[in-house]
Structure 1
């Protein structure tokens, strides 16, 4: 599931806040139980607990990350606040699989969304193929699924539940050893192919970069899609990149801090790619 990334810049240091563990929603008790019955899931829950990551319930499973940039003189620091949301109303077994997926996003080191050199290609590749990206998350989701249907918890699963896990993960299991095929399957766009190409074309990218994306994506039916955006990951991440970059550029342009003005030259190319000019 695509991360929902919220951005905030503060120009006065607010001090250090102590992390506090959140009490998980009691409605997730069964999901936690099933996840803890697998070796992979138990390790991920322990990691999340050590990092004090809040796990809540909501409309759709997702990972919310708030990136806050602090300035104090010439010093810049970045802090992240992460929350995992698990979709309500689902069978606890599938909530456990969703949680296994989202915790991959939540527990991995975060990339700096304010980085002036962060371009579309890097953002999409990291989001899909990088550490903690969608490929890793789906692989872990299905690793947990396999451990559930082959481990001690199998006797507690309904036959229909096992069948649904197999249907959900069989492609992942079949292609797991073929790294090239596995990675490329995330770029299948189906009916969204033209929308993706149109969005890339509308960006101010070099012809070389546009051509690279035209060759990367595929017209075959999507194997994986964002539950938040209801679109294949490349298109969902492209729209996310444009939204994040636009917000950063507009806020930077409006700022009058000398420290921010000094970053304008570095941001110019990134801002131009989404159609935002930094010239007042």
Structure 2
């Protein structure tokens, strides 16, 4: 019978998570700013990220190499062009969770256009691959009131909720082999109440985009609720939502701020 070595690196070392290494990747403000921006779910070029972070392209490249090597970002090559995005939903949710413990930094409203942009962001925006903002919170609360979501043991779909999704044409089954939470919530950055996230939140968001209920505004995080979307929400959830300009301007943090993960009930 073979014996374990009594000395040497294999005997003296214990394999464990290098949390300090991961924390070090996000301890730099430039790298953290880039990761927060990529919570919009799209692929960014190094030039775009350098401009966003206010650093030279060569400086941005060095930071991006570290984030890719550390497993937080993935790199895509399209011809001569290079694109970067977060490594996946798990990475995004980890960054959101860390951000939930970070202090808030308020930014002043400097113009009327800035005020309109903040209203639009507070009303509806992307939070990686699901919807955030007033619209998302209203949907989550309406689903709770109609007993489509249950909060006794954390957020979960009820049988009525699964039937409701099937009626919409949304698959309510967890993806085979996926470690991602089927149903979870994020504490909304601007509303301070939970909105639906996880695989179900992402599936609902895709469904709304595919059916023209929601549309993206350019390459920003802003999402527009269309007239057909308003009609669908009235018909299916009894919701009547006003356009963002009908709401008071929110005092919101900067545009790249994520939502915060939570398991609390919607009240």
TM-score normalized by structure 1? Answer: 0.23
Query: Relative to total residues, which structure has the larger helix share, 1 or 2?
Result: 1
Report 1 or 2 for greater relative contact order, CA contacts < 8 Å, sequence distance ≥ 6.
Answer: 2
